[in-house]
Each structure stands twice: as structure tokens, then as C-alpha cells.
Structure 1
């Protein structure tokens, strides 16, 4: 019997000892800032002239690291290594693969504050958000290790007299993992180890904004006993390396987390069969959202306001699950809006190396420019209630921003901004609030705050999102507790941290023996 796993606890930074431990983690990270990092192909360290420079988004002068950049030739080399390694790795015992994850989880747990401090520096995360990111990475390793042990003997099927039937899962092959910058540790680690523990080999192309944490994670896996060539570290350009590997005839599956635009491009390219390709490529995609918190007139209005603020502005709104739309029934609209504005104006923004700030920077100049453009659009579409300003002189800082009185079809209500901007819309009743909540092309997360049981049940049936929360915010899914993934243009509803996620990285094989 595989023991269930309870998720990694979050750190309470009001405890002085925990605060001191985190500051020590920051010191460790500061001791290795600015170093050069190689590619890793088949266990071999390869240095290139061309580098991806990772900087601290809160302090543009601080270089986190310079990471060697793969090109097509090196991507091809990595593919050949991964393809060759797969022939042995696919026959490795699931217990061995799971044990690597359990040991890696233990190593990260011992270095938890160091990894979280690296997320503060490389991703601009506040301490609590960084701590939750690291905890989630640990959870993914523990959970997927246990899931693999549960799946290793397959699923029982019926047999008949003189006939013995088995149904087992076997690995797919070489997977290309393209991970995002927002959960730079958790999602990068989760997507990588899900592919590895199921017996596949991996080409890991982390986000160009945050490659250093990915390299540090590969070092942990190597320390835990991962053989060379199973996971190959090849950061590089999406257009050069990403497209090349998505198109490659030996690529068996692509696991992608990122924007809708890039996800659709991958989905389309992966559908084309290239010379020498013997399979239809599988795509596992998580592509973003336009997530709504609905507040009913029969709701705890203080809880509603707190939930909107935390979900809209946690990690500067840079979560695919972030609340970017608040739809409030008109009876309580002004009260909820005014309270959200009041709470938002108390939020602090700054360099999150200092734990006094609630919100840090956005990830880079391109993100800053895009969000500021949306704020200008918002000024023409609604009423600016808070924020609206940015400062990119030292880092990429944008004040938490609220627009009121948006029409349901306004751009701010329809397009993913991926920043600290929330749009408020008024609904005449609960039914109209649900209609507005459903009127986007996305379907990732949503939340409903109400004490009306009939409305809860109606939303459970009719609010079309992959993760729906009642009487809480719409961010913060925990591995094994709230399997995460969405509908429509939010992706393939591949529920990360859920009971059927690993199966997406395998294929079922039936064997039948006459006795």
C-alpha cells in the first residue's frame, strides 16, 4: 500500500527563527550570483559563447547568472542522447525512478530557504510566494513518486478461463518540457519529473527569464541519483530551439506551460507529421486564463474583498489563476468595490528581498510595457479606482490597479493581462454574474462567494472552469488536493497534481496470454 502524502507546510515568517533561516538562504544565494552555467547534455557540461543573462526583475543591475544558450545543433545532440538513453531508462524499475524523486524532495526540503531565496532574486517573488513555490515543487516530487508506485502494476482487467489478460502502462519516449517563468521552480520541476518518473527521457527548455533555478534543480536530481541523459538541460530561443524540437520526428510529446499564443503555435506544429515520424505527438498544455471572482448579494463581503485583493495582486497578478475580473451583484457592488480599493491602497510594492513588501516587480521590460499599455486601455474603458502607475527605473514595478464599471465585452474583461490589474463589472443578479463569468474564451479558475446553497449548486454545474472555489480566492491549488488545469483556451485540462496526470505521459498496453 502506497502511503498518501500530506503537502509540504508553508513557513510562518512571523516566527523569528524562520525569518533568520530565510535571511541565511538569501546570503547563500548572494554568494553565487553572477556565475556562468553550462548546458547539460548526457551529463556532459557544455559551455557556449552565446548566453542567456538572468537578471533580478526588482534590480536590473543585479545579474543572477549567465546561462549557456542552446542552438539547433546542440538541440539535435540532446535529442540523440535522450533517444538513446530512453532505450535503457524505459526498462528501469518504477521504484528506482520514484526513489530518485523522494531523495530529491528531501534534498530540496533541507535547502528550502535557499531555493525560495533564489526565487525571490530570479523571479521577484515575495517571501511567502517563493516559499509556496518551493513547497509545491517538493509536493510534486513526493506526489508523482507515489502515483508512479500506484500505477506500476497497471490496472486490473478481466480474464477468462484459459486466458490471462493484463493492462499496463509503458512510457512514451522523448518529451520536450517547456516551462514558464512565473512558477519558476514548481511548474518547471513538476512537469519535468512527471515525464521522468513515468520512464520517459526529457529535453528541458526552461523560460529564458528564469533558467538558473532549473540548472540548480538538475544538480539536485543528479545528487539524488538520476543517470546522465535522462534529463537534458537546454535553455534557448523558443523560435530556434523550441520550434526545432516541437517539429522533430523523434519528439514523442510536448509538455508546455505558458501563453495561449505560444500554446496554440505548439499545438498546431505538433499536429504535423514529419518524415521519419511514427506517431501522433501528444501535447500537454496549460495556457492561461481570465479568471473571475463572483460575489453574490448573500455573501461575507469582507471575505469577498480580501479574496479579490489576495487573488488579484498576489505575485503581482502573474499567475494564470489570478483574479483579473470581479463580477459583483449590483446590490453589494459599491460596498465590495470600495472595500477592495481601501485594502489595495494599503498594499506596499518594492524589492522583495525585503519581506516588508506585499508585492514585487513584474518579470521583465516586455511584461511591464504590455501591462502599462493595458492600463491605458483601461482608462478608456472604465473608471480608475486605484493604482495605474509604474516605475521601471530600477526594476519593473507597477502599482496594484483597479478599474470599475467595465462592460462585459471590454478588452480588460476579455484579454489576459498577466499583471496587477483587476476589472470590476456589475451584474443585476446571480444568473447574470455567471453569464459574465463564462463569457471568455478561457476556463481555468473561478471563485464564487455566497451563502446561498442553491447558487453554490448552480455554479458547481454551470460555471465552466477547471478549478472552481467557493468562499475563498481563486488562486492557490495544492498538489493532491486541488488537481489543476482548465477548459477551453486554458489548455488541455491536464490536471497537474492530480490522479490522472502521470497517465498522460504513458500509453496503455494490453497483453493477453492463452493458458
Structure 2
């Protein structure tokens, strides 16, 4: 019997002791800025001339680290190492693999303030968001370790008097894990260890904007007892290293979290059978969302406004689950709109390292800043600007939380993923029309409904077509083991990270039948 895991608690920074511990950790992280980090292939540290420069998005002059950059030759070397190691790793005891995750969770838990400080610096995350990211990473380590112990003996199937039948899961092979920058610790950790604990070997290619934290995970896993060559750390450009490994005939599966544009490209490339390839590659793909909060006329309007603002602007809207559209019943539209604008104007924006009370920090880089600002200009033509609408990229990449009202549901800012602190409000004549508008997107990741009408909640349960639907709360902040996470349509393969069947995507079922 595997003991149920309760998720890692969040840190209360109003407690002076916790606040001081994080300030101390920030000093510690600052003392290590500008270091060089090698690739790790088969346990060997490989330094290259060419470097990825990771900078603090809140202060672009501050270099977090210089990370060696992989190329095709080194990607091939890593593939050979992973392929060779798979032959023995696939036979390793699942309990041994799970124990590495439990020990890693314990190490990160002890160093939680240090990891939180690192996410503030490399990811530009406000204190609470950084703390939650680290907690989620710990949750993934604990949860997937326990899930592997549940799955290790397979699933019971029927036998007959003349035979004994078994159904077991076996690993797939070498997996390419391409992790994102927004949950730079949590998603990177979860996707990497899910592939490893199931008996696969891994090529980890973290986002080029946040590669240092992935190196820190490699250090933790090494300390936790992970053998060399099981996970290989190979940051590098997607156009060179990513494409090469997605196409590689020895790649057995690709686990990707990121944009729709890159995700669909990976899906297409992985579908092509290469010369010498003897399997159909599996893809585990989580892309994006155009997530909607629906507000009914029988709703707690303060809850509705708070939910919209928190979900739209947490971590500067840089979550695939962020609320970027709110569809509000016409009877209460003006009240909710005015309160959303009021709450938005109260939000503080600034360098997250400076204070624990800045609600928003920067967006990740210049490309993100330019894209978001261009969408704000589009929004000014498509709706009425009621809050924000400006930014400042002189020192870091800061965009003020922005609200557009009276936007047509077909408008670009209501259809295209902006991935920044921008939300559009539109009105619906009744609940049915509100759900219709909510579904009017090519995505299907998260959504929320704020109403006290039970009939409408049940209608939404049936008709609101998203992978994660929340009632009377915001549409972000899924918790591992509580809210299995993944979406429909162009939001990805609905592989439900942090859920009971996530690990199975990294394995294949094998039936053995013995006649008596």
C-alpha cells in the first residue's frame, strides 16, 4: 500500500523568519551569478566555446550564468549514451528509481529558499509564484515516485484454469524532454523525472532562457543517487539540437511543453518515420490556451472580479492556464468590469527581488515584451482600454497589467494566445451564449465558471470543453495529484500531468500468458 501524498505547503512570507530566510537565500544566489555551467553527457561535464547567456528578466544587465551550448555532434553523443544506458536502466528496480525521486524531493525541500531565490532571479517570478513553483516541483517528485510504486506490478487481468496471464508496463526507450521557461523548475522537473522513473533514459533540453535551474536539478538528482548517463543535460537551440533529436530514429518519445507553433511542428516531425526507425514515436505535448472565466448573473461578483484579476495577472499572465478572456452576463457586466479595472490598477509591478509584496514582475525577455506590446496596440483598436496599456523595457521587461473591455469575441486579442498580462472582457446575453463564446477558440485547456446557479454549473460541466474546469474560483493553480492537468484541441495531447495515468504515457503495456 502506497501512502497518499499531501502536497507541499506554500510558504507564508508574512512570517518574519521566512521572509529573512528568503532574503538570505537571495544574497547566496547573487554571490553565484555569472558562473559557467557545462553540459552533462554520461556523467561527463562537457564545456563548449559557444554559450547560452541566461539573464535576469527584471534586470537584463545581471547575468545568471553562462551555459555551454550543445550542437548536433554533442546531441548525437548524448543519444548514443542514452541509448546504451537504456539497455540496463530499463531492467532496474522501480523501487530504486522511485527512491531517487523521494530523496531528491527531500534535498529540494531542505534547500527550498535557495531554489525559490533562484526562480526569482532567473525566471523573474514574484516570491509567492516562485515558492509555488518549487513546491510543485517537490510534488511532482513525490507523486510520480508513488505512482511508479503503484504501477510497478502491472494491472490485474483475468486468467483461466488452463493459463496464467499478466499485464505489465515496460519502458519505451530514449525520451527527449523539451521543457519550458515559465514553470522553469516545476514542469522541467516533472517532465524529466516522469520519463526517468518509468525506466526510460532522457535527453533534457531545457528552455534557452532558463537553463541554469535545470543544471541545479541535475546536481540534486546526482546527490540523490541517479546513475550517470540516465539523464543527459544538453541545452541548445531548438532549430539545431531540438529538430535533430526529434527527427532521430533512436528517439522513442518526445515530451514537450511550450507554444502551439513549436508543439504542432514537433508533432508533425515526430510523425515521420525515419530510415532505420522501428517504432512510431510517441508524443506528450502540452501547448497553450485561450482560457476563459465565465461570470453568470447569479454570482458572487467580488469573487468573480478577484478570480479574473488573479488568474489573468499572476506571473504576468505567462501561464498556459492564465485567464485571457472573461465572458460576463450582460446584467452584471458593468459592475464586474469596473471592479476588475479597480483591482488591476491597485496591483504593484516591480523587480521581484526587491520586495515580497510586488504582485507582478517582468515578462521573460525582449521577444515576449515586443510581442505583448504589439498585442496591446491591437487591443486598443479592438476594445476599450480600461487599465494598463503600457510597459517599460529600459532596465527589465515590465508590462503593466492591461484590461480591455467591450471586445468582440472574434477579435484577435480574444482568439490568439498573447502569453502576457492582457485580458479581454466581453458580454453575453445569457449563460448559454457565454458557454458558446467560451468554447469559441481552437484551444481547450482551462476555464472557470462563477455562479451560484447549480443548473448552470451542471450545464458547464457537460458543455464547457476544456481539460481543467473550475467552479467558483480562478482558472490557474492546478495542484499535483488534486487537479490532473492537460487540455483538449490545440492545447495538446491531454496527457494530464500530475494525474494517475500520466506515467503510462511513458510506457507500453505487455501481456504475457503462460499455458498450464
TM range (shorter): over 0.9
Cα displacement string for residues 318-343 of structure 1 (whole angstroms, at most 9, x for unaligned residues): 00000000100000000000001001
Query: In structure 1, how many angstroms separate the alpha carbons of the residues matched to 2:211 and 2:256?
Result: 16
Shift of 1:158: 0.5
Distance 1:477 1:113 in 2: 22
Show the counterpart of 2:303: 303
Q: Which residue of 1 aligns with 2:213?
A: 213
Distance 2:265 2:446 in 1: 23
Alpha-carbon distance in structure 2 between the residues aligned to 1:346 and 1:414: 27
Q: Distance in 2 between matches of 1:392 and 1:68?
A: 27
Indicate the residue corresponding to 1:267 in structure 2: 267
Matches within 5 A, 1:22-171: 22-171=22-171
How many angstroms does 1:31 deviate by?
Answer: 1.5
Which segment is superposed worse, 14-23 or 444-453?
Answer: 14-23
Indicate the residue corresponding to 1:194 in structure 2.
Answer: 194
Q: What is the 5 A alignment of 1:201-240?
A: 201-240=201-240
Aligned mates of 1:400, 1:441 — CA distance in 2 = 25
Alignment correspondent of 1:381: 382
**1:396 corresponds to 2:400:** no
**1:477 CA drift (Å):** 0.2
State the secondary structure of the residue aligned to 2:348.
Answer: coil
Displacement of 1:357 after TM fit? Answer: 1.0
Q: Which residue of 2 aligns with 1:425?
A: 426
Q: Deviations over 1:355-377 (max 9, x none)?
A: 23110000000000000000000
User: What is the deviation of 1:483?
Assistant: 0.2
SS in 1 for 2:346: coil
Q: CA deviation at 1:28?
A: 1.5
Q: Measure, in 1, the Cα distance between the counterparts of 2:148 and 2:109.
A: 21
Q: CA deviation at 1:25?
A: 1.3
CA distance in 1 between partners of 2:28 and 2:406 (Å): 48
Give the distance between the partners of 1:22 and 1:299, measured in 2 at CA: 39
Deviations 1:216-269 (A, max 9, x none): 001000000000000000000000000000000000000000000000000000
Deviation at 1:475, TM superposition (A): 0.2
Which residue does 1:437 correspond to in 2? 438
TM-score (norm. length: structure 1): 1.00
For normalisation by structure 2, the TM-score amounts to: 1.00
Distance 2:270 2:411 in 1: 33
* C-alpha distance in structure 2 between counterparts of 1:353 and 1:267, whole Å: 38
> In the alignment, what sits opposite 1:247?
247
Structure 1 counterpart of 2:362: 361
Residue of structure 1 in register with 2:327 after alignment: 327
Which residue is 2:312 aligned to?
Answer: 312
1:349 maps to what in 2? 349
Specify the SS of the correspondent of 1:402: strand
Tell me the CA shift for residue 27 of structure 1: 1.4
* Alignment partners' CA distance in 1, 2:414 and 2:209: 27
Q: Tell me how far apart the structure 1 counterparts of residues 513 and 302 of structure 2 sit (CA, whole Å).
A: 61
Aligned equivalent of 2:454: 453
**1:514 corresponds to:** 515
Q: Distance in 1 between matches of 2:302 and 2:391?
A: 28
Q: Secondary structure at 2:413's aligned position in 1?
A: helix
Larger CA deviation: 430-439 vs 16-25: 16-25
Q: Partners in 1 of 2:259 and 2:124 — Cα distance? A: 20
After TM superposition, where is structure 1 displaced by more than 3 Å over at least 4 residues in a row?
none
**2:10 corresponds to:** 10
In the alignment, is residue 256 of structure 1 matched against residue 256 of structure 2?
yes
Which residue is 2:478 aligned to? Answer: 477
Rounded Cα–Cα distance in structure 2 between residues aligned with 1:441 and 1:408:
13
Structure 2: where are the runs of 5+ without partners? none
Which has the larger displacement, 18-27 or 308-317?
A: 18-27
For residue 332 of structure 2, give the secondary structure of its aligned residue in structure 1. helix
Question: Alignment partner of 1:55: what SS?
Answer: strand
Q: Matches of 1:305 and 1:106 in 2, distance apart?
A: 38
Distance 1:215 1:173 in 2: 23
- Could you tell me how far apart the structure 2 residues matched to 1:193 and 1:126 are? 26
Q: Deviations over 1:37-87 (max 9, x none)?
A: 000000000000000000000001100000000000000000000000000
How many angstroms does 1:24 deviate by? Answer: 1.5
The CA distance in 1 between the partners of 2:111 and 2:153, in whole Å, is 34
2:290 corresponds in structure 1 to 290
How far did residue 21 of structure 1 move?
A: 1.0
Q: Secondary structure at the match of 1:331?
A: coil
How far off its partner does 1:181 sit?
Answer: 0.2
For the residue of structure 2 that corresponds to 1:345, the secondary structure is helix
Over aligned residue pairs, what C-alpha RMSD do you find?
0.4
Once residues 415 and 113 of structure 2 are traced to their aligned partners in structure 1, the CA distance between those partners, rounded to angstroms, is 38
Q: Between Structure 1 and Structure 2, how many residues are aligned?
A: 515
Distance in 2, matches of 1:185 and 1:356, equals 22
Q: Could you report, residue by residue, the CA deviation over 1:381-421 in whole angstroms, capped at 9, with x for unpaired residues?
A: 00000100010000000000000001010001000000000
